[in-house]
Every structure is written in C-alpha cells, then in structure tokens.
Structure 1
Amino acid sequence: MLKRLLLLSLLCWQFVPAQDYFLEKYQPYAAEIPTPEDYLGYGIGEHHTRHDLIVSYLEKLAEVSDRATITEYGRTHEGRKLVMLTVGLPKHLAQLETYRKNQLANTDPTTPNTATDQPLFVNLGYNVHGNEPSSAEAAMLTAYTLVASNHTEVLNYLAHAVVFIDPTINPDGRDRHTQWANAYQGSPLNADPQDAEHNEAWPRGRTNHYWFDLNRDWLLAINPESRGKLNWYHQWYPNVVTDFHEMGTQSTYFFEPMKANGSLDPIMPKENYGELNDRFAAHFSQALDSIGSFYFTKELFDGTYPGYGSSYPDLQGGLALLFEQASSRGHVQKTAFGEITFPFTIRNQYVSSMATVKAAVANKAYLQEYQHRFFSSAISNANKSKIKGYSFDVPNDRNRLKAFMDKLLIHKIKVYENQQGGFTVPTAQPQYRMVQSLFETYDQYRDSVYYDASAWSVAHFYNVKYRPTSKLSLGQEVTDLNGFIETPSLSASEYAYMIKGSDYNVPALTHYLQSKGLVVSTAFKPFSAQLSGKTESFPYGSLVIAVPLQKKNSEAVFNILKEGQKRFEIPIYAAHTGMNVSGVDLGSLNIRAMRKPKAALLIGEGVNSYEAGEVWHLLDTRVHMPISKLRTAQLGRVNLDKYNTLVMVSGRYDLSKKEQEKIKAWVQRGNTLITLAGASKWAIDKKIVSEILITKKKDSTETQVRKPFVTASEHLGRERVGGIIAQVDLDLTHPLGFGYSDPKLPIYKNNTVWLKPSKNPYATVAKYTRDPHIDGYISKTNLNEFMKPAASLMVSPLGGGRVILFGHNPNFRGSWYGTNRMFLNALFLGDKIYNPAD
C-alpha cells in the first residue's frame, strides 16, 4: 500500500492541472497576482527555468503586490543577480528597518530581548548546488503562495513572520545545468537513466563559475556569492534558515535531525540540534505524510563543519535546516520504485518550504528567546575558559595578514590592536563560537566518518602564528581594512629596485612586471642592504629589477613599479649600489633572471573539478595571470610546446600510452609538470617518474577478523582522510620554499596519497614532522604508518625538466593562503630547480 501511494504521488501531477498539483491547498489566491505558469508560459516542472526568468518573476511579484519587495545582494562571477524577495504584510514591510535594528540588538547580550514583539525572520534558501534544481522551482511556488494566497493559514504565517526568499544561491551553476537539461529534454520524455539528459558533462552544474562548491564557502567566504550572502546575513540574523538540496535518484527525502554531531564536545548548543530539530521535524513529517511522500532522518549527513548553509546559521543564533530530495536529474527517470518526475521533486521541496514557515510561526517565541540566549551563552561560555583571547601577527607579510583579518571581520568577530604591535581577538564576545571555529584545534572525536572536513581552524589556513592568552591588552578596534597596508613612497633609481620575497602578493607582482616587459630576477641567497640609513633584510626569493639591464628606460621602469606597488600593496625599495651590507651582492650569480610562466591546466572528464577550479581561481583572481585550460580529450592534438608549465590535479586520467609518453617527452625537453595529490599518484603509477608511494604491506598469512556486514562503511570510512591539518618541515632554501620564514608549516591533507621521500637528498622539499597532527580526525594507522614517514612535496628530475609532486592540495577551497606560495613558486621558479646530485 505504501509503495502504491508513492507511485500515485509520483504520477498524479500528469492527471490534474499542473498548478493544482502544487497549490490547491492554499486557495483562494488574489486574481491580480500572476502564477508562475502565467508568467513563464509553461507549468512548473515542464522545463527547467533559467535563473533570469526566476528573478524576473520575483521582480514581477514585487511590482504588483504590496506584500513583497526585492533587493539585490550581490552578483556572481558571471554577472548574474543574487536577489532576496522579502514577503510580509504591508504594515510589517513598512516597519522592516525598525525590526531589523531590533533583531541586531537581540544579538547583543548586554541588552534585553527586543525582538519578541515583532515578526519572526525566516530565510528560505534554495539551489546552492546548481544541478539540484527542484528547490529553485519550489521557490517560485512558495513566493507566489505567500504573496497571493488569502488562505487563513497563510495570513496567519504573515501575521507572525517576515519571509526572505533567496531563490538561487548559485545562479551560474544552475544555468549551466538548466541549459543541459533543457537541451537534452525529449518529447516524449525519456526516463532511461543512461540518457544524456540525466548525465551532465564535466564539470557539471553543481559548482559556481570557478567550480567551487558554494555549500562549503560560508565559513571561508572566498566567492562573491558567499560574501554577498554573509553581508546580508549579518544585517538580518534570521531565526530560521533553510538549505535545500538533492541526492541520489534511488533515495527518498531527508530532513533533520542529522546523524550525531561528530565533535566530542560540540560548540553548538545541544538545544539547537536536539529540542529545536525535534520540534520542526514533527511538522515536516506531518506535511510529507499528507502527500504520501517517504523520507528518513538521522542516518546521514552531519553539521560538524561550520561552513554549510545548514550549519553556519546554527552558529549565529538561528536554526539551520537541511533538506535532501531524491533527484530526477532531468525531467523523469526510472527508479526501483517506478518513475520519479521533476514535478514530484519540486512538490516535496515546496511542501517542506511551507511546513518550515508553519513550524517557525508555531515556535516563534521560543526561537526569539533562543537567539538571545545563544549570544548570552557565548559570553558566559567564554568567561568559563582560561583562554581570554588569541594574539597573532604576520609581521613579514601584510597581505596574508590582511586576508586573514578580512575573515574575522566578515564574520563580525571583534579584533583589536595590542600593545605588542600585533592583534588580539578576545573570546568574550557575541561571536565566541566563531572565534572557536577559527582558532581552536581538536584531536578527539566521537565519530570517525565525516560527510566533509573534520578540521577547519582557519588561522592555520593562513599560516598565522597565534597564541592563546589569559591576559588582554586591547588597543583600538579594527573595524575595516581600508588603509590597513601602508607602503612607503617609491623613489626613483637609475640602478636597481628590490622587493622582499616574503609577501603573499610577490608572485602577482612578478607576473605584472613580466607582463609589462620587465626582466625580474630572484635571490637564491639572502642579503641585507643599507637603504635610507637603515639596514633592510631580503630573504630567499626576494626580487631584483636591474634598471640598466631592461629594454625600457629608467622612467618607464619607475612608472611600472610605482603602479605595481599601488596595485599589490608591496613595499618596493630603490637601490643605488650593487654592494650589499651582507649576503650576496646584486650582481651575484645567485640573483637569477626569472622565466615568465606559460601555464596550462588539464581539465575534462575524470579530472577533479574542485581542484582544477581552485588553480584557475587562484591565477585569475589573485595573480591575474591566464592559464590555458586543455581538455584531456584533445590532448593528442594539443601542441604542448606552447607552454613551459603543465598542471595536473587529482583525478582519473584515462590517457593513452601515447599521450602519457607525450607528456613525459615534453617534460624531458626542459619543462615543468606540477602534480597535485591524486595526480602525483598517477605520475608514479604510470612510471612518469621513478618515485615510490608508501602503501600498506600485504601479509599473505594475515587472518581477517570477522566483522558485522552492517558496520562495513563505518570501519572502512575510518581509514579515509576526509580533511585534516598537519605540520610539515619545509626546506626554506629550496626555490619551492621561497617566501617562507618558518620551516614548520601547516598544510591541508584530504587524501591517502603518501609520497616516499626521495633517494635524492636534495629533492624532498617538505616532509611531515615527527608529530605532524594539528587538527582533525586521522586514524592511528594513517598517522603512524603513512603520514609520519611521508613527504608532502618533492621534485623528481626528468631529462632536462622536472616533475613537482605535491602529496596534498596547496590551494584547497581557495582558502589556503599559507600554502598557495609553494604552488606559485612551482609555476614561477620550476625551471630554476636543478638536480644538485648531477
């Protein structure tokens, strides 16, 4: 009987008017408000709706109804609008600014709860993964219902809540998928799971323009979509936030509660993932039961990582709610229980949207009081700790420090100058739980299998050295970063200019100068120079621009450098002599001219699009340097000699023997191949290089211990490295280590590629330390048998060229400022790496 109900609900939309399938419950509707079908010219679910049409429909609602207004909170990389439709009774919309200020005051523990006499704020967020499209269609139905319905239930919701509808969090990815699904839509529809409609081509629509997963970006705030949403969020602090997704076609529907939080002592109040989740779950089950939909809870997913749309609001005094709908991956697809249709998936999301509003209104007073208690408990929790703050500084790299400070400020974390010349974040502040997320590290967990990363102490992402403190010496609060970096005025020289190699923006400045036609040299040994009566130290990797050796005159060189300093906020020093106080002089053989990179990146089916996008994003947005993206399917026809550097990220490279030999021969001609994580394993497995992986020793006499079948995923999952932070020892004298001042460096590891240190004593650039664990879950086997003896970065000579093998991903999620430099050194200095043993 239950299966029959499910089949009927899957198919019934075909036998009733399409709009009634969704909207019948909330009649009557205002006749002057256009339905989605009226506006689009087709029924919801008949086609996938482009983002611009979704936005224009919401704009139409705001135009014709006094219940709605629409605002733009940002633009995507591709220029698409990010919009928020605000729905409420006219009298509430007229008072919205007052309500907003009261809501902000409610997050201040020093003030009484001021938000209890006003509507609740509910934020319905949809379609953060572009190829999980059902929720954005449901957003239009929800918007229409709340704007046009005069049903007593809807009017009651609006009497007690203002609803903010974010229809498409990832417009670029959505439109990539929409184009695919509509382009391959058949007539009649084709339910064959193998049909092209249900199998997008690489990179697929899940991710944004640079192939980032925006549902991991709330904490890291790298992309404009996330930054716009965070800026909006901290103006409103909604009490309830939804996060609508899709999952595998053979599944059903998921809503919270999730599986138990993986942290041993979660910083999120138990009241959030216990009491509140249970209150809302009752409403979701009732709503889905009423339409015959099946669902599950608690088995999958976790909110341990604070950067999801379903976890970040939990750390801001709200309730975040995850929904996962089995996907039709097109318009209709066969499953084990019959056919699942696009309209059916939309209906579940729509019903859950309305149930969310209903549950929020039913718990209005509780939610408002909970939000105030949440921020009050932040202060009381901080006061119980011996740690009263975290002090830090990055004295030799203001741009990296600025990037870290930006993360503090976007999350509304208070930070102050301190008396030691650095900065301090006090713990006793409303955002204490975010302070914990950015600074605290853990090595004990109640779980060993994570849906995502188990380590996210953001200070380590930026290689920021910090220390907890029990005493505070706070100076002026830092509230914005305008003028944060002050560069001295550049004076002209007819002889040379010098730039210290330690700044994060050195590679970007190098590329800028090279693109303007200047020859840039780098220091392979440090030196100190007397400049304006002061001795300045220039470490490994510092830049030298010798004026007489340029093809441009001294005035042109000066103007280029002046503009470069302004763009990249790096001090540039004018030198009038080649004789230095100590170290090498400017004419030394250890001051070597740099080759301009001509870089390419392999992309396409089988390649890890996340890692490829991170490389592209880094070079585009920070170095402002183009990289040619070469599809693996075209590799046989590509002229590799146009490039001197090739990047391969993790992935499954189904290259022919001839294509493998083509890459190997190209390297041997004097070029540089850079392999990240899984690609390093590929290079070793395919004998491109003569290096070795550390693998588990097989014992033919070993007797397997019998284990229960049901525990297989848990036992096997423990040996995955889902994402931890570990420490390596870096050779600061190696070109790949240029720009670093401390050999102890945190890196991010989320794979099981373990590189055996090279037999060449000069080739292992970074090796894990004796006690490498910093943060996150790793099994004892992986830690002791694999990580501790392994290298994380090494160089393997190959003919006249070299392969630079990373065992980790130095560009993870666009956030690892601390390890980006190693990757950029590989691009800019790869040709300078020779084999001293030859």
Structure 2
Amino acid sequence: MQKYYLLSALLLVVLFPSMAQKDYFFPDETFSPSIPSPEDYFGYPIGDWHTRYDLMISYFEKLAESSDRASLEVIGYTNQRRPIVVFTISNPANIQNLEGIRTQHLRLVDPSLALPDVSKMPAIVNLAYSVHGNEPSTTEAAILTAYWLVASESDKAKNIRENAVVLIDPAINPDGRDRHSNWVNMHKSFPAVADPLDREHNEIWPSGRVNHYWFDLNRDWLPLAQVELQTKIKWYHSWYPNVVGDFHEMGTNSTYFFEPTKPFGSENPIIPRKNYEEINNKFAGYFAKALDDLGSLYWTKEVFDNSYPGYGSTYPDIQGGLGLVFEQGSSRGHVQNSQRGDITFAFTIRNQLATSMATLEAAVNEREYMHRYLREYFETAITEAGKDKSKAYVFGDEYDESRNRLFLKLLLDHKIKVFENQKDLSSEGKSFKKGKSWIVPTSQPQYRMVRTMFEKVTTFSDSVFYDASSWTMALAYGIPYSSQSAAAAGNEILVLPELDLNFPELGKYVAYLADWSDYFAPKLLHQLQEAGVHVETTAVPFTSNTNQGAKEFPAGSLIIPTGFQKLNPEELRAAVQKAADGSSQHIWATTTGFSAKGIDLGSNNVSAVTVPKVLMLIGQGTSQYEAGEIWHLMDTKVGMPMSKVDVSLFGRINLFDFTTLILPSGNYNALTSGQINHLKDWLSKGGTLISLRSASQWLQSQEIVKEEYLTVDAEKEPDLLSFANQRNYQGAKNIGGSIYLANLDTSHPLGYGYRSNEIPVYRNSTIFFKPSKIKYQTPVRYTSNPLLGGYISDSNLEKIKSSASVFVSEVGSGRVIHFIDNPNFRGTWFGTNKLFFNAIFFGNKM
C-alpha cells in the first residue's frame, strides 16, 4: 500500500516519498535508458536502506561497463581487504586520454615550466565521501551523483562532462562505513522508528566513524598513519585536483554547513588569504542557490576548524586547490526526530546530492580561474620562501636510523624535496653528522608544507580550537632539527636509500649485542622472544669490544648470550639474523664478556627481559581512539599480539595470566568491588598497569593509587561576561592539542634508548598530577619554559610547568605507569612511542 507524506520545506520536516526516486532526487531530468538507475540495480530507492559497500562497488562497475563516459580504478585496499576505488567521469575522449590530461595538468604545479593553455584544460574535481563511516548520506549521494553525471542528458551534465574530469571517492573509509551500515540495517524497524533513543540510532563501541584500527581518518591527511590515507595521498599527488569536496554529517538538530568557515580563527595562516576571502565566497553562492532551490536551511562562517592540515578539506588548500567541507545534519539511521521535525535519510542524501552537483557546476564555470590559481599558488610559495629568514632545515638523529627513515618517507610522501647533508654541522646546540642528516630547503614549490613540518607556532588570532592547535611533525617524530640561514645541499633524495645492515661473520662469540636506540629495536626484541631466544638488557651504559671495534651501548641495549640458550649455536645465529632482518636492525658480537668501559656482561646491572603478555581493556566507556592507537602500534611497529578484552568481560579474566594491563582513557566504573580487588591483588604481587590520561583519574578515585592533583591560583575571573562570549571564554580554558618540552630521565627504564634528556610531548587534556612523591619515579617532567607550539592559557601553562607528564606509582611489588600525555597520539608521535614500548618490555624493572 502506498503511503504519502507531507513535505514541508519551511520546517524541513521531510519524509521520503514513495514517488519514483527520479522525481524526488532529479525532477525534470531525462536519463539515458541504457544506464541502470540505482533503484533499478539495487531493488530499492536510495534512502530506503544503507547501501553495502560491495553493492556500491558492483554498481559502479556496472556504470563503467554500461558507458564510455566512466571508468573505475582500484587504487588500494583497506585493512579488511575492501577495495579503495576512484570512479572517473568525463566525456569519452577524455576518458580515453586520462593520462595525457593528467600529465598536462601536473605542469601547473611546477613553476619552472611554461604555463599551458588553461582555456583548453578540463577542471579536475575530486568529490570525496564517507571519511567517517557513520556519516552515511555521503556515499549514497556519491552513488546518485555518479549516476546523474553518467546518465543525465541535461545541458548541465553535458557541460560538466565536456569541461571536467570528475574523480569520485565514494567512501574513503569503507571498513567503518560497512560497520555502520550493518548496524542500522539490522536494527531498522517497519515502520521506521524516529526516537533518538532507539537502538538503530545508537551504535555500540567502536562506532562506524573510525576505520579498522579505530582511527579518525579525517585527521590522517598529514600524519599518514593509516593505509587508506597513504593510498589517498599517493593518488592525490598524481592529480592535484583544482577542487575537492569533503562531505560529512553533524548533529541531527543542525541544518547544513558549507564554507566559508569562521574567519581567521578557523583558517590556516600559511594559506593565501585569496583562498578564504575570494575563492570560498565565489563558490559559496553556488551552494546557497542549490539549497535555496530545495528550501533547505544552511549556515556558514561559524566554527569548523579549517586550520589543521590533516583534514580532507584543508590539505587540498595547502596543495593549491580548493578544499570544501560540507556538513549535513544527520538522520543517523533511516529517520530521526529533530527540533524541526523528523529528518529522513533520503532528505539528508538529497542535500548532499545538491551540493555535490553545485560543486561540479562551480568548478567548471571557474575552471580557468582555478587553473591559474593552482600555478599562482606554487609560484607565490617560492616567492614567500625567498623572504623567509630560514633558507633550509637540517634534521637527523645520529643514533636512530629507523626514525630518520620514517620521517624521510613522510616528507617524500608529501612531495617535499630533501637533499643529503654534505658536512658535519652544529646548530642550536645540536650536532648533525654527514651521512646521518638531511637538508630541506625552503625555496621549493612545497614551501608551505615545509613550514607545516618544521615551524613552531605559538601566537593565534583565536583561543578556541575545534581540534589540534599545533602539528609540527618534526617534533612529533622527535627528530633533532634546526633552522639554517644557509646550507650546502648534496644529492636530492628521490627514494628511501637501501639499508646496509651490520651482522657479524661466523665466529665463536660470548654474546650478540643490539643498541636499543633505534625505533624498531622493540620489534627485534619481540621477534627474538618469539623465536625462543633468551634476551637480557643492561640498566647502565657500557662499551664493548665488538667484531667492529669498540662500541658504546646505552641503557636498555640488548644482550643475547650464546650460553643459557635452548637453541644450539647455529639455530641461535639463524634466529638472531632473521629477527635482525625482519626489524631492520644492526647486530654486533663480542668474544668476551669483559667490557672496554663500564659494566661487564655478567654484571648484576644486566637482567633477563621477561616475555610480556599484554592485555588491554576496551569497549563502552573507553576511548576508541587511544585503544586503536595502541592496537595499531603493537600490530604495525612491533608485530606483537595483544589481547583486547571488553570491560564487560573483566569478570572472566585472570590477571595473573598477564604481565601487563593497559587502560586507555575512560571510565571503568562498570567494574565491581570484587573485580577491583582482583586488580589490586594482581598489582601488589608484581603486575604492571599502563594507564593513559583519564584512566589515571579513575585509579585515583578508587584509591588504587594515591597521588596528588596539581592546583595553582586560577586567573582572576571577570566580574561580568556577556552570554554571547561564554563559548570563547570557556574554550580558552581547554588544551585542544599543543606541544611541550619535557625533561627525560634517560637512566629510568622508561627512558631507555633515548640519547637526549629533553623530549617533545603532546598534550590535549587539562589533567594535572603532581610529580611522584618518590623522587626518582617521574621520568618525564615539563621544563620551566615548556611551550613549543600551540595555544594554551596562562593559568594552564603555569600548571604544566609544575606537573608530571609521565610518572610511576609503586603498588606493593607492582607499579602503575601513568601517561598523562598520550605517547601514541594519532599514530604519529614516533618520538614518544619508545616510552610506551619501554613500559611494556621493561615495566618490571622500575
């Protein structure tokens, strides 16, 4: 039986009608009968169900098969092996000549080349959807946009096909999207339930927003921690689109948002003002008209940070294009109550479709302008670089080859030019060795990305941040670096150089040795332990006469005695070599336990490394982001299995089966008094508990630890404050994400492998603990002048100066290691990861 619903455009009370899908989404449009519509292909109108990713892929395959106006390319795969695709639409001649068009377009980003005739060049437009998997209207709009552009016989569609190459990312986060789609589809009621409390509208943990490793991919365009964005960036730099649409959803009671964003406060200061003040407003008129035609309300110029380069709407701005964020009030299911009435899935899709089509129309109408802007952007980058006092940055860690390579790869992935350093340098108290350091000149097309990687910013036009206020990647990697007024650069690094690993020749050795300074030394240790090799570590430095001469080994370095092994000498050598190759580590060997300097190999300062067995509590009430960062770290940087157990199953856990328990930020009030007593008993008998941020507050509330919070005199409150300014006033009290310098005790087990007694740390909370009452159990504590980058209020800065970043609570024979600052933030804080590795492998040595 057909049901008819009243459409009230004024109130935005929109219920998807049973009229033909074409009439709702495409009134007055004529389509080629040879191209199947989504409704014909899926067997339901778009908006009736959340379309599974595999069905969407198969429909795009059908479109490409049915028309010479389209092609489908698989550019990679997710962790769950879903294909990452780009669907391309243009006229048949362009589809046959995509490589020629791409090559010609890339001439625009190289100021050394003559400007091509832009009047004859098509606009390159990238429409990107569903970076957050539980913002589902986006991918459904991608399906409809693709159908319309391939099949429509309208003049508008024809004009776009003639004058643009349209590149559609239907879902940047396929794994998260399917997680959400399955959830809402399996909880759909007949009739649909609009109550926001209904199970359909409330996902379980983890949400579909995140990918396989529970990362927010719309923060990953800069750090490139996840395979989806590693794939995307590689593809992006093969095209440099003129315009990128970045489609999202927001709270159900909101209407629709498009750029421009909040002036100055939400804008990136290194992007030309022309982008914000001229181009954004030029395009905004198209979006306003598209939504006005539907009677849909919208808003602009408020909130929505556009400063952090890791967003899908900001990164294109720093690549000479126009990144555009779109936000639609979400139905989070098929229909949901809102302050304006019931919002349906189909209604949200229609708005996204309208702005998608408007983006294409605007990009075509402004194509010559945007081509010229792309060239201008990279020309002005070199001009600005010429005015910069910094003519280059030199960077490199003399002792950590792997971290150098990881940072080099990041720079190369972002198309930043890097050169060999030709001579030993000393600058700002740091030493940079020839062959172990590199030069990044500022005078290059990617000058603004160079600033993003190295520049420290502490002054801002606003004090309220949607996300991070600092993102200096060199600090995140903990790479020593220095600005240079001049530098002699050698050969350009085009690809990562091959590793030449040291491994001793056959011989009769007392021990094999490995330096703990390298980032991947924990991976080596795990692989050795997995192979059944007995491994020991030193608590103090020593110098050994090795097969390659005298070599100094810092605290934490690995000693693999050839005695005390279950493996015979040949098996041991093979196991060590396999682990070294698998972790890219150098190995030394010695024929004597008598050291050239410091302790001998049989010293009481040398002890066995216990094989860790790690458990992490996850689930409702815990941070899916922090848990995902830890899971990803252990999987991809160590390769070590770790049990992830839901908090609700804690009653089934025998903690004595594990050496280490990790508590990500969260509320663990679901644990019963008996379960808490079990935790206390395990701790007191030698367990190691690693606690992050608010989890330490919970431990304090349960008196599992008895530390002290830090308080200082607060700033004087104003006598009066206007209601309109309350958000700015309260927001300034937060720490949205900034970088600080801390002192590091390299003699503490948490500091093993570090060569410097200073370390940058990332903070995005207002949790302040005093240093431990035990004088030697605060291995990471802020310096007296800690701010390196980002915004912080004066009162919070004073608290930071007196507080602990990482400290240890002794509980009987066990210990709690408190990370008040997240050492694994967004999978990109390589400089502090080793603190976390040390907590796992050396926790019982504190």
TM-score (norm: length of structure 1): 0.97
Q: 2:700 aligned with 1:663, yes or no?
A: no
2:825 — aligned with what? 812
2:404 maps to which of 397, 401, 422 = 401
Q: 2:639 aligned with 1:636, yes or no?
A: no
Q: Distance in 2 between matches of 1:239 and 1:497?
A: 55
Query: Which amino acid in 2 is paired with 1:290?
Result: D
2:147 — aligned with what? 144
> In the alignment, is the contact (CA less than 8 A) between 1:264 and 1:446 conserved in 2?
no
1:295 maps to which of 294, 298, 304 = 298
Query: Which amino acid in 2 is paired with 1:367?
Result: M
> In the alignment, is the contact (CA less than 8 A) between 2:548 and 2:588 conserved in 1?
no
1:560 — aligned with what? 575
1:153 maps to which of 151, 156, 160 = 156
1:825 — aligned with what? 838
Counterpart secondary structure, 2:238: helix
Q: Distance in 2 between matches of 1:657 and 1:775?
A: 43
1:515-544 CA-to-partner distances (Å, cap 9, x unmatched) read 111111011011111224621110111000
Alpha-carbon shift at residue 302 of structure 1 (Å)? 1.7
1:723 maps to which of 710, 720, 737 = 737
Query: Which amino acid in 2 is paired with 1:662?
Result: H
> In the alignment, is the contact (CA less than 8 A) between 2:259 and 2:284 conserved in 1?
yes
Q: Distance in 2 between matches of 1:163 and 1:566?
A: 44
Matches within 5 A, 1:687-702: 687-695=703-711
Query: Which amino acid in 2 is paired with 1:507?
Result: P
Q: 2:176 aligned with 1:173, yes or no?
A: yes
Matches within 5 A, 1:63-82: 63-82=65-84
Alpha-carbon shift at residue 126 of structure 1 (Å)? 0.2
2:59 — aligned with what? 57
1:604-652 CA-to-partner distances (Å, cap 9, x unmatched) read 1110100000000000111000111111111122222211100011112
1:224 maps to which of 224, 227, 233 = 227
1:544-563 CA-to-partner distances (Å, cap 9, x unmatched) read 00011101101101001111
Q: Distance in 2 between matches of 1:140 and 1:482?
A: 43
Query: Which amino acid in 2 is paired with 1:154?
Result: A
> In the alignment, is the contact (CA less than 8 A) between 2:509 and 2:592 conserved in 1?
no
> In the alignment, is the contact (CA less than 8 A) between 2:266 and 2:304 conserved in 1?
no
2:3 — aligned with what? none
Matches within 5 A, 1:29-178: 29-114=31-116, 116=118, 117-178=120-181
> In the alignment, is the contact (CA less than 8 A) between 1:729 and 1:745 conserved in 2?
yes
2:525 — aligned with what? 510
Q: Distance in 1 between matches of 2:701 and 2:226?
A: 35
2:723 maps to which of 709, 718, 734 = 709
The verdict on how the C-alpha distance between 1:263 and 1:433 changes in structure 2, with shifts beyond 3 A counting, is: farther
Counterpart secondary structure, 1:429: coil
Counterpart secondary structure, 1:235: coil
1:244-278 CA-to-partner distances (Å, cap 9, x unmatched) read 00000011000000012338981001111111110
Q: Distance in 2 between matches of 1:745 and 1:262?
A: 29
Q: Distance in 1 between matches of 2:65 and 2:496?
A: 38
> In the alignment, is the contact (CA less than 8 A) between 2:392 and 2:441 conserved in 1?
yes
2:372 — aligned with what? 369
1:592-613 CA-to-partner distances (Å, cap 9, x unmatched) read 1000110011101110100000
> In the alignment, is the contact (CA less than 8 A) between 2:245 and 2:323 conserved in 1?
yes
> In the alignment, is the contact (CA less than 8 A) between 1:19 and 1:37 conserved in 2?
no
Q: Distance in 2 between matches of 1:208 and 1:600?
A: 22
Q: Which moved more, 1:671-680 or 1:211-220?
A: 671-680
1:836 — aligned with what? none
Q: Distance in 2 between matches of 1:62 and 1:465?
A: 50
Number of equivalent positions:
827
Q: Distance in 1 between matches of 2:135 and 2:144?
A: 17
The verdict on how the C-alpha distance between 1:704 and 1:98 changes in structure 2, with shifts beyond 3 A counting, is: closer
Q: Distance in 1 between matches of 2:518 and 2:126?
A: 40
Matches within 5 A, 1:461-610: 461-484=476-499, 486-488=501-503, 491-532=506-547, 534-610=549-625
2:430 — aligned with what? none
> In the alignment, is the contact (CA less than 8 A) between 1:416 and 1:424 conserved in 2?
yes
Q: 2:815 aligned with 1:802, yes or no?
A: yes
> In the alignment, is the contact (CA less than 8 A) between 1:260 and 1:302 conserved in 2?
no
The verdict on how the C-alpha distance between 1:45 and 1:567 changes in structure 2, with shifts beyond 3 A counting, is: same
1:20-47 CA-to-partner distances (Å, cap 9, x unmatched) read 211224x211101011111111110000
Counterpart secondary structure, 1:375: helix
Q: Distance in 2 between matches of 1:15 and 1:64?
A: 27
1:216-244 CA-to-partner distances (Å, cap 9, x unmatched) read 00000111100100000000000000110
Query: Which amino acid in 1 is paired with 2:406?
Result: A
1:787 — aligned with what? 800
Counterpart secondary structure, 2:463: coil
2:248 maps to which of 239, 242, 245 = 245
RMSD: 1.6
Alpha-carbon shift at residue 792 of structure 1 (Å)? 0.6
Counterpart secondary structure, 1:804: strand
The verdict on how the C-alpha distance between 1:572 and 1:490 changes in structure 2, with shifts beyond 3 A counting, is: farther
Q: Which moved more, 1:651-660 or 1:170-179?
A: 651-660
> In the alignment, is the contact (CA less than 8 A) between 2:7 and 2:14 conserved in 1?
no
- Sequence identity (%): 47
Alpha-carbon shift at residue 115 of structure 1 (Å)? 5.7
Alpha-carbon shift at residue 12 of structure 1 (Å)? 5.5
Alpha-carbon shift at residue 4 of structure 1 (Å)? 8.0
Counterpart secondary structure, 2:808: strand
The verdict on how the C-alpha distance between 1:115 and 1:197 changes in structure 2, with shifts beyond 3 A counting, is: farther
Give the gaps of 5 or more residues in structure 2: 1-5, 424-433
Counterpart secondary structure, 2:695: helix
> In the alignment, is the contact (CA less than 8 A) between 1:521 and 1:593 conserved in 2?
yes
Q: Distance in 2 between matches of 1:830 and 1:194?
A: 43
The verdict on how the C-alpha distance between 1:506 and 1:831 changes in structure 2, with shifts beyond 3 A counting, is: same
Q: Distance in 2 between matches of 1:381 and 1:296?
A: 34
> In the alignment, is the contact (CA less than 8 A) between 1:173 and 1:208 conserved in 2?
yes
1:79-126 CA-to-partner distances (Å, cap 9, x unmatched) read 110000010001111222111111111100111222612111000000
Alpha-carbon shift at residue 149 of structure 1 (Å)? 0.7
Counterpart secondary structure, 2:245: strand
1:304 maps to which of 296, 303, 307 = 307
Counterpart secondary structure, 1:467: strand
The verdict on how the C-alpha distance between 1:596 and 1:533 changes in structure 2, with shifts beyond 3 A counting, is: closer
Q: Distance in 2 between matches of 1:830 and 1:576?
A: 30
Q: 2:386 aligned with 1:383, yes or no?
A: yes
Query: Which amino acid in 1 is paired with 2:696?
Result: S
2:441 maps to which of 415, 421, 426 = 426
Query: Which amino acid in 2 is paired with 1:29?
Result: F
> In the alignment, is the contact (CA less than 8 A) between 2:268 and 2:307 conserved in 1?
no
Alpha-carbon shift at residue 8 of structure 1 (Å)? 6.9
Q: Distance in 2 between matches of 1:110 and 1:463?
A: 34
> In the alignment, is the contact (CA less than 8 A) between 2:714 and 2:795 conserved in 1?
no
2:213 — aligned with what? 210
1:260 — aligned with what? 263
Counterpart secondary structure, 2:277: helix
Counterpart secondary structure, 1:279: helix
Alpha-carbon shift at residue 158 of structure 1 (Å)? 1.3
TM-score (norm: length of structure 2): 0.96
1:58-89 CA-to-partner distances (Å, cap 9, x unmatched) read 11111110000110111111111000001000
Give the gaps of 5 or more residues in structure 1: 834-838
Q: 2:185 aligned with 1:182, yes or no?
A: yes
Alpha-carbon shift at residue 580 of structure 1 (Å)? 0.8
Query: Which amino acid in 1 is paired with 2:331?
Result: S
